[in-house]
Each structure stands twice: as C-alpha cells, then as structure tokens.
C-alpha cells in the first residue's frame, strides 16, 4: 500500500498560479534539496516542463515530471487534512499563524499520524488571494527583516522545506495524534462539500443576500469551521444539521 | 563609537570569487531579508554594481553599494575573530563542523561579547578552495537531502541569514563569553601574521622542505592553532617562541 497523499514524500507543495516556468524549476530544486517530491500546480501560467524549467531545476526534474496540474485550488488540496497558506503580510483573518519551524513540527506530527499535509504558495508578485487563504487551516509567515521581507518563490519553498528536513529525521514516540477514539480527521474535500452545502442553504434562506458582504461572511464562516479540526464524523453530523434546518425552513414556508 | 566589524549589522558575509553579478545581487537581497549588511567580496569576476546585480538585489541595493572588495581572503577577514567556511562536502580537515542553526547561536554569543564573526561562501560551481577553508575556524554545512544538496549562492546565504535572524532577536543575559580574565581573542590579522612568521621560520629551517608535502603540513598547522581560540596575548607569546627558537638555531649554526 502506498502512503497516504502528502505523507510518504513529506508534505505536498502547492503552487497557486505560478507565473514563470523558471520559478517552477527552482521551486522543484528547492523541494528536492529538502527531500520533498509532491508538487501540485494550480493554473500555472507557463508549462513546468519546458526547457527553461528543466534547466532551472538543476537535477530535480523528476519532481517536475511527477507534478500534477489542477484547475482549482480546492481540487489540489482535496485529499489533504491540514493545509498551510504562506503569506508575507497580515490578511486580517482569524487563523492561527505559525513560523516555518513550528509548521515543520506540526506537520511531522500530523504526517506520522497518517494525515496528509500541504503548504500553499501564491503567484510570484501578488501572493495568495484571500479566497485561497480561506481554504487553509493555518497561515505560515517567515520571520524576516520587516523592512525587506519579500522572498522569491523558490526561497520561500526552500525555507519551509529546510525546516521540514530538520525535523523529518527526528523520530519520536510521542509524535502521534489522537486518532483512534475521535475518529479520522476530515480531509479538505469533505470539508469543502460541507461548506458548499452550508453556503447553498444560506443563500437559499437569504442569510447571504447582501452581495458586498457575502464574501466576508463566507470567509468568516469557513475559517471558523476550519479552526475546529473537524473529524469526518463531525462533518457528517454538520451536514445533517444543515439539511435538517433547511428542511424545517422549507416545511415552514410551505405550511 | 561604531560597533566592532562583523558585530553591529550581524556577521559579515564574505563571497570568495563570486562569478556572476546577478548572484551578488540575489545574495545581497537574501542578506537584507535577514537584516545583514556587511558584504565583502574577494576577487569578484564581475562588478557587483552593474545593472544586472542591482536588479537582482530587488530593493537591497544599499547592501551592494556598501560592499567592500578585497584582493585576498586574508584581508577580507583580517578584522574578524571567528570565521565559518561553508562547504557542501567533507574536506577532511580537522575542524569543527556546525549546522547553520548552531552557527547562528554561536555567532550571537560571540557577537554580543564584541567579537566580529563572518561566514565565507565559495564560487558558484566549485565552492571554497582548501586554502580558504584553512583560514576559517569552523566548517558550516547545511543538512539537506544527501542525494541533492547543491544550493545556489543566494540560497546558501539565505539559510545562514535566516538562522541568524531567528536567534538575533533573542536577548540573553548568559550570552557573554569569558573575555575579561583571558584577554581579548586574537583577530584573523594577528593570527595570520603569526602563521606567516611560523611558516617563514619553518621554511628557513628546512622543516617544510618537501614541496609536495608543504601545503598539507601548512594547513594542518594552521588548523591546529586555529582550533585553540587563541587570545591576542597568546599569539604574542607564540611569536616570541618562534623568534626565540629561530634565533637559537641561527646562533647554533653560527657557533
């Protein structure tokens, strides 16, 4: 049996809308430096297999050849359980913020418990959009000189990978999460199905009716549920809650 | 009074024979990311102030403008007390080897005690030559995937600077070295004067007469003294020892 996604070869590296093929190459090189192999590309602007990318990978072209392309960020993280969003500046979302070092320790614990992890990086100049950050559980920020903190894509991947590599070798008996009693944690696909279900019903009932407030409300709701580290069983329960509430409302409006 | 060299703005970054002006620019950017400003260039092949370098520095051109050029590595490190040599592979020298993390902790202690530190990086493809490594006190190696561990210059500078930045903020009362009683540690210039004095006398007496063995013997001797963390007073004592021994020999040969 092959290991669960985002576990065997360490966390997945998810590049959202990378612009230049060279940068995909140098990111692949940085991954290989740190023993990472699971590269996922969401709407890359250029091909990650053209010569410029392969040359920039400098021996790490196996990572590029194995890379997978996705149309939506949601699909790229669907099989993962815990996702980090790298940002350079405060996005004013209620999410836990960690350093690469803490992220590495957390991921090691999650991955050794069989839960797939991933780290998302945004486009070169603009960084991740808020809609992508909302999909993440935790924000990752690199502590650097505040007056000059911009990193290029490969360097950001390298720092995250470097910290991963420093802890990946350390095997520890206590590195296991409460898995048995509470049931398995929900993966992103299961969570997203629930979010969509909830938002559909909230749209239907008029709760999200103000168009200029809707995006913020949706984000706040998703962040709130995401922080809860829901199990798959809990997500099913929540589906039931939403369905029941919606049915009740339908009945009432009919009655 | 301005701080001692290699202390106020953190450790000095010494690039030995950097080849491409872009790489000096990206190294400057990585330094600025980590709050480092003291850049020293030994025989750079291209200018660090041409447009390609400035563009690659991406906002960190102040570091390039303040950079100093040296003809010899010895001169670039003359005012420092403790120097690290970055290497990707084992050079079979009897020197302490540290990770960037341990290096950062050590440098913080030394620098807070007023001793200038520096980290040397070799040319892009070939790395530092043994003659430059001998000048260092300690070897620095980044723990990375052994099957793919080559880093580009800026990335190597970034990882060292990143670890420095992580510890630089931490102020600690116990971070002071035994300075008073033992006297001030010798700087590189003082050490090198002593090495040259010693080797001149060893040449004169025929100890280093076999040309194919000379380089290795010189290296071993320098490494041996370097590991001792000599104080300036001890170096003066050693000068005296060598002078005395040489005089004795001269007297005897005359007598």
pLDDT tens, position by position, A196-244: 998 988 888 787 888 888 888 888 888 778 877 788 888 888 888 788 7
Query: Which value does ipTM take for this structure?
Result: 0.76
Radius of gyration from C-alpha coordinates of chain B: 19
User: From the CA of A138, how many Å to the nearest CA of chain B?
Assistant: 20
Indicate whether B52 pLDDT > 70. Answer: yes
Higher-confidence residue of A96 and B176: namely A96
The distance of B169 to chain A (nearest Cα, Å) reads 11
The mean pLDDT of chain A is 85
**How high is the pLDDT of residue A254?**
58
Residue B139 contacts residue B133 (beta carbons within 8 Å): yes
User: What is chain A's alpha carbon radius of gyration, rounded to the nearest angstrom?
Assistant: 19
Q: Which residues of B touch A144 (CB under 8 A)?
A: 33-34, 162, 165
- Overall pTM > 0.90: no
Confidence of residue B179 (pLDDT cuts 50, 70, 90): very low
Percent of residues in chain B assigned helix, strand, coil, to nearest 5: 45, 10, 40
* pLDDT, tens only, A53-67: 999 999 999 999 999
Contacts of A151 in chain B (CB under 8 A): 33, 158
Distance (Å, rounded) from C-alpha B145 to C-alpha A34?
5
Higher pLDDT, B251 or B168: B168
B23, two tokens: 């790489």
Residue A70: the pLDDT is: 98
Angle between helices B188-205 and B232-254 (to 10 degrees): 20
Q: pLDDT band for position A149 (50/70/90)?
A: confident
Return residues 158-217 of A near B (CB < 8 Å): 158-159, 162, 165-166
Label residue B205 by pLDDT band (50, 70, 90): confident
- The pLDDT value recorded for residue A204 is 82
Please indicate whether, in this complex, the C-beta atoms of A155 and B150 are within 8 angstroms of each other. Answer: no
């Amino acid at each position: 049996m092959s290991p669960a996604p985002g576990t065997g070869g360490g966390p997945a590296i998810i590049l959202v809308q990378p612009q230049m093929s060279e940068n995909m190459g140098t990111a692949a090189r940085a991954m290989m430096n740190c023993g990472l192999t699971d590269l996922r590309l969401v709407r890359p602007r250029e091909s990650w297999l053209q010569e410029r990318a392969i040359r920039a990978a400098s021996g790490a072209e196996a990572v590029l050849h194995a890379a997978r392309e996705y149309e939506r960020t949601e699909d790229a993280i669907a099989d993962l359980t815990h996702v980090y969003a790298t940002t350079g500046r405060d996005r004013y979302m209620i999410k836990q913020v960690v350093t690469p070092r803490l992220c590495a320790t957390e991921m090691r614990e999650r991955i050794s418990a069989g839960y797939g992890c991933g780290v998302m990086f945004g486009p070169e100049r603009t960084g991740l959009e808020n809609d992508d950050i909302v999909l993440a559980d935790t924000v990752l920020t690199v502590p650097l000189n505040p007056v000059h903190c911009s990193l290029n894509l490969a360097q950001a991947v390298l720092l995250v990978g470097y910290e991963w590599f420093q802890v990946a070798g350390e095997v520890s008996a206590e590195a296991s999460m409460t898995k048995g009693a509470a049931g398995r944690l929900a993966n992103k696909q299961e969570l997203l199905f629930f979010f969509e279900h909830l938002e559909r019903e909230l749209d239907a009932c008029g709760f999200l009716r103000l168009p200029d407030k809707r995006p913020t409300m949706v984000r706040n709701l998703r962040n709130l549920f995401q922080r809860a580290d829901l199990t798959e069983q809990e997500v099913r329960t929540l589906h039931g809650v939403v369905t029941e509430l919606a049915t009740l409302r339908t009945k009432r409006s009919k009655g």
